């Protein structure tokens, strides 16, 4: 016997009850990235190499939000058309709750614990740094990602839950807290990661 539970049906029923206060948004943006890299293979040969390439994408976004008092249901979907001809999905999520707490599920990015400055480019040499982002999000169809959130004044607590049974995928828990006061925002968090089918964990 097979059991299935459709979150989409529940979200649709919730949205129906809020229909009198619903709003929908659509937008798009274009990004072109031109990158020049110069490399030196030192000290073995001291050979020099350079590379110039251009990437980019067009992003189409559709969002909707329905409210009833401080309760709400929201959703967002983002389609990517890339310069090399590929297509993809960036965001695809639904969120519901109220001013005190909410739950977000689907394909999304959770709280960023290591935000970079705008238009900042980082090139890693050898091993890249660990930014507590293994469980941050935008997983494929083989993973379930749910993030309950709790608001308390200027503070927000988010608990990311990721589950998968596919070998090589990750699962675990990622609690994070942010606190904002004027122009200053502090974030702290930790993640407990298990690689499915392996012994690696952090």
Residue 19 DSSP one-character state:
G
Q: Is position 145 within any domain?
A: yes
Q: Please, are residues 75 and 83 in contact by the beta-carbon 8 Å criterion? A: no
How long a stretch of residues is the chain? 202
- The Cα–Cα gap between 58 and 32 comes to 9
Q: What is the pTM of this model?
A: 0.78
* pLDDT over 50 at 18, yes or no: no
Torsional sign, CA 88, 162, 115, 107: positive
Q: Is position 61 within any domain?
A: no
- The Cα–Cα gap between 199 and 97 comes to 37
- State the DSSP string of 162-194: EEE-STT-EEEEEEEEEEEETTEEEEEE--EEE
Q: Is position 180 within any domain?
A: yes
Q: Is position 134 within any domain?
A: yes
pLDDT at res. 115: 85
pLDDT digits 0-9 by tens, 168-183: 999 999 999 999 999 9
Number of domains in the chain: 1
Q: Is position 148 within any domain?
A: yes
Q: Is position 164 within any domain?
A: yes
pLDDT at res. 13: 45
Of all residues in the chain, the percent with pLDDT exceeding 70 is 82
| pLDDT level of residue 49 (50, 70, 90 thresholds) | confident
| pLDDT level of residue 28 (50, 70, 90 thresholds) | very high
Q: Is position 50 within any domain?
A: no
Q: Is position 47 within any domain?
A: no
Strand duo 155-164 + 71-82: pairing? unpaired
Q: In sequence order, what are the residues at sequence separation of 6 or more whose Cβ sits closer than 8 angstroms to the Cβ of residue 8?
A: 94
* Higher pLDDT among residues 148 and 41, named by residue: 148
| Host domain of residue 188 | 100-202
- The Cα–Cα gap between 167 and 110 comes to 23
Strand duo 184-189 + 155-164: pairing? unpaired
């Amino acid at each position: 016997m097979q059991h299935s539970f459709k979150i989409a049906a529940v979200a649709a029923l919730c949205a129906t009850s809020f229909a009198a206060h619903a709003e929908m948004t659509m937008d798009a943006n274009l990004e072109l990235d031109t990158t020049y890299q110069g490399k030196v293979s030192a000290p073995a040969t001291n050979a020099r190499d350079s590379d110039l390439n251009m990437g980019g994408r067009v992003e189409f976004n559709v969002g909707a939000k329905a409210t009833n008092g401080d309760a709400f249901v929201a959703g967002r979907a983002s389609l990517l058309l890339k310069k090399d001809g590929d297509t993809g999905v960036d965001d695809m999520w639904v969120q519901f709750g109220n001013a005190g707490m909410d739950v977000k599920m689907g394909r999304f990015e959770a709280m960023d614990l290591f935000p970079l400055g705008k238009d900042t480019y980082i090139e890693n040499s050898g091993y890249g740094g660990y930014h507590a982002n293994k469980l941050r999000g935008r997983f494929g169809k083989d993973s379930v990602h749910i993030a309950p959130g709790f608001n308390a004044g200027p503070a927000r607590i988010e608990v990311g839950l990721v589950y998968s049974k596919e070998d090589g995928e990750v699962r675990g828990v990622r609690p994070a807290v942010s606190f904002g006061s004027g122009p200053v925002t502090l974030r702290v968090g930790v993640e407990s990661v298990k690689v499915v089918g392996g012994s690696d964990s952090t």
